[in-house]
Chain A
């Protein structure tokens, strides 16, 4: 059953119907007064009247009717009537409609054509369609990018809403049509209107049409879907995109040359790209550039390298030459060179022969080259020299195979750890377990129980190797883990937990005995390695894995590991900082220069507003602060705030893809629904010819006919 809907675009003109009064008044005023006349031959008059064909009086009334109709038609025509035909099957009334516009604001909608983006065209189309909505119609606008959200919630056609739409811009997000449709259907459930329409204004990028989302969509025939495609209007072509850019730092050379791996894709399905200019920019200076030839529909990895000049944070971006879509023509990367960690090594078993000294291997491992290229700055000390050292100068103190500590020094160490210092203790044959158990109760969470030893001919102890998520160990992958299996331990101390102590055992031996104990005390960290750090009890120091292993532990204990892990996020991914600086407040500066307090959730930082691509800088305040101060947001970065790193947010390259979803695929995603497809060029054919017929012309033609008839009648009068 077709429903007909009769609406006016300019209903104010309907007041023109009052103009009908004019001919009526003229008629009444010019009407001849009815005279009464006595007459003799009435029967003849009657006879003549019955015979006469001519009837001038009804004629005049007919003329009046035509003039009235003419004026009514004129005002109706000016009111711009729209006849809506068809409607969905259950449209019972001709009442106003409820329309949800799903406006795809993903970054691919920013593709430029004729100096206008698809998005601008889509907004214009949206407003055009809005203008032709029946009066009293309401509409919502749901943004179709991920995560989809409601821009305008049920509003009538108002200037404010129009301004919001006009000022909106495409985002850097990906498309998510399925969720947007679900949201739209929920919105449509809220309203009583029976005429429910969903317009999807999109460039039909296939990535936005996720089958899983659509499987749970329950749309009925009562919902009308109009899918308006804007990608067909492209003049320029989105030729290429930077799909990936990442700093690839090699171990040990990380302080000299920066290497950036860049993946550039040719998005065209038919044309190869030759001599695409790719350049690398750091802090707004071009560092290096290349030209690339990329075959059809493929991507090329290219490594760029440039010398590192400072130890400051590197904020860079990869750019390729402009095409129709600018947003995928650059990609950000950032790199935080390691900061120098001042480390005090206490040698509990010094020896005149250098290589027999307890700290020989440790020193070499932490600073592999004689020239100070490492970011770990070492100071070697003996136990007797220890009281002279100011512990506040160091981030990490490593005590190797110490028999005991100078009198009362355990309290110094406790203060050091509580304040945030890292204490790394290794054992050995000099260790007086009794001293450790009795005096270091506030520092060590365990008692040293007994020394386990194997004879030379017996199978040594080994690490129990398994993939770990521990920040230190997670970088060790298959090959390295295999190598670590060959490490042999002859001796180690078994431990027994102290009461109410908290600790973890990231590494255990094959016999399930702990090999390393990690505990957090105050704001600091205590790590106890239950074997020796030299070759007395094991052969670990001469293994290739020893150097990264010990370096990472030191950096980790000094809270420096986060800078090693580059955070390359995509738009919308939350930034999680597992181990934020404790006690210090952390701040995030967005790419737009906005400054905000990093949100803490259960001691971790989880920052979700990563919808703008760019480099987000992290800072921590220099002073520790009480929890009360944490609640207030400072208006600017506090004085002396230290940069603690950065993370990059880049667009998801999947949205750049030129693969479009076909009508057939959409039909299969939305079965049993009332679907209409149109391109942006022919959109009005869909919305106006088959659905909405403007009657202006017809009314004017009818008016012309009326005028002709009127003229003819007047002439005959």
Chain B
């Protein structure tokens, strides 16, 4: 792969990988530090039941201890969770590359990268398979889900090497990816959802209907929420919109209302579809966001 070449050569990518690695692992370890005690009670190694061995079952699954005790061939049954496949869809369109003129926090792309890296690490740490799909108007890169710990490096590399460009077309991407997702799994969509598409909900519904668990991370820069600009500004699009000249003061309130409407819209629709919707502003510390998410899931008893 051409990108793999950059893995060795591009020092910037390398440093970003290192940074992501440290950041993500630190983050996840920090998060999980409070959960050590219950480490084996959760997750995919959870014991479910015994069943009599029947030909065709894998021999490795026979509980030899039980054979020794009772001379019965019993097979341990575990939760399916060990087969969890998580696919992370990361929006790499132009809009994700927004850089604030007055950066106070991480920029949006870095925020998303770190989030994805953290999630990947989290999944891998739980021995779940995790894959990564990068998209803008189409799927531009696909890392199939693997549960090997070494897979993390692949993901990190992809994250580090990506550069935002193109137009967001989530609907098309969901349509195309839905074929690749076999069986039950988790689809995590990380995007700013700044798109002119109007029927994303339908595509989300499609995912849900396939038995996939969908989690949405809606990431926006603080600037995109509060619109803090002043003075005569010509706004140039990061995607394909024409430039627009205006006084931010004039439209600030209207804009804020519009963006809030959008958030509310997604939140309400996601709730209807049973989708976990997490809105994250870049000003929100990532730990806080993740913690919130994990707590939420725990409360719901999902993992």
Contacts and interface: CB of A to CB of B under 8 A. Distances in A.
Interface of A: 31-49, 51-52, 54-57
| Most chain A C-beta atoms within 10 Å of own C-beta, residue among B232, B238, B242, B249 | B232
17 contacts: A34-B245, A35-B232, A35-B234, A37-B234, A37-B236, A39-B236, A40-B192, A41-B95, A42-B237, A42-B241, A44-B194, A44-B262, A46-B244, A49-B246, A49-B251, A56-B250, A57-B247
Contact of B238 (A39, A52, A57): A39
Interface string B75-105: 0000000000000000000111011010000
B54 interface: no
Contacts of A55: 250
B27 to A, nearest CB: 25
Contacts of A57: 232, 246-247, 250
B232 A34 contact: yes
Contacts, number: 100
Contacts of B99: 38
B241 A46 contact: yes
Nearest to B99: A38
A39 B98 contact: yes
Given A34-B231, A34-B233, A45-B251, 17 more contacts: A35-B233, A38-B237, A38-B238, A39-B98, A40-B95, A41-B259, A42-B236, A42-B241, A42-B242, A42-B243, A44-B194, A44-B255, A45-B246, A48-B254, A49-B254, A51-B254, A52-B253
B234 A45 contact: no
B246 A40 contact: no
A38 B251 contact: no
B292 interface: no
B98 A40 contact: yes
B235 interface: yes
B295 interface: no
B249 A56 contact: yes
A37 B229 contact: yes
Interface string B111-124: 00000000000000
Contacts of A42: 235-237, 239, 241-244
B5 interface: no
A529 B271 CA distance: 159
Contacts of A37: 101, 229, 233-236
Given A37-B229, A45-B246, A52 B235 contact: no
Contacts of B96: 40
Interface of B: 94-96, 98-99, 101, 192, 194, 196, 221, 224, 229, 231-239, 241-247, 249-251, 253-255, 258-259, 262
Given A40-B194, A42-B235, A48 B255 contact: yes
A36 B231 CA distance: 11
B238 A49 contact: no
| Most chain A C-beta atoms within 10 Å of own C-beta, residue among B95, B221, B241 | B241
Nearest to A42: B241
B231 A35 contact: yes
Contact of B232 (A33, A38, A47, A52): A33
Contacts of B262: 44
B229 to A, nearest CB: 7
Q: Is the interface of A mostly helix, strand, loop or mixed?
A: mixed
A688 to B, nearest CB: 49
A38 B98 contact: yes
Contacts of A35: 231-234
Nearest to B101: A37
A36 B235 CA distance: 6
Contact of B234 (A36, A46, A56): A36
A650 B33 CA distance: 136
Given A33-B231, A35-B234, A57-B232, A41 B247 contact: no
Contacts of B254: 48-49, 51-52
Given A37-B101, A39-B237, A32 B250 contact: no
B251 A52 contact: yes
A49 B231 CA distance: 15
Contact of A41 (B194, B231, B234, B236): B194
A28 to B, nearest CB: 13
Contacts of A38: 98-99, 235-238
A589 to B, nearest CB: 92
B162 to A, nearest CB: 16
B258 A44 contact: yes
A40 B237 CA distance: 6
A631 B194 CA distance: 116
A76 B111 CA distance: 63
B93 to A, nearest CB: 9
A32 B244 contact: no
A45 B255 contact: yes
Given A40-B192, A40-B224, A54 B236 contact: no
B234 A34 contact: yes
A663 to B, nearest CB: 68
Contacts of A40: 94-96, 98, 192, 194, 221, 224, 237-239
Contacts of A51: 251, 254
Contacts of B235: 37-39, 42, 45
A512 to B, nearest CB: 122
A52 B249 CA distance: 10
A55 B251 CA distance: 9
A46 B98 CA distance: 18
A49 B241 CA distance: 14
